[in-house]
Amino acid sequence: MLDKIIQMVKVSGPLLKDLSSVVSHLGKELLLSKPEELEELKQMAKMAWSYEEKNTLDFSIDDAVIWFKANMPAGVSEGCILKHKTSPNFELHLCFLKNDEPLLNGEYPHLVVKSLSIGDGLKERFERTDMIKVG
Q: How confident is the model at residue 13 (pLDDT cuts 50, 70, 90)?
A: low
What one-character-per-residue DSSP string does 34-97 give? SHHHHHHHHHHHHHHHHEEEEEEEEE-HHHHHHHHHHH--TT--EEEEEEEE-SSSEEEEEEEE
Does the pLDDT of residue 63 top 90, yes or no?
A: yes
- Convert the pLDDT of each residue in 71-113 to its tens digit: 998 888 899 999 987 778 899 999 999 888 998 878 889 999 9
Strand partners, 117: 58
Q: How far apart are CA 52 and CA 25, in angstroms?
A: 20
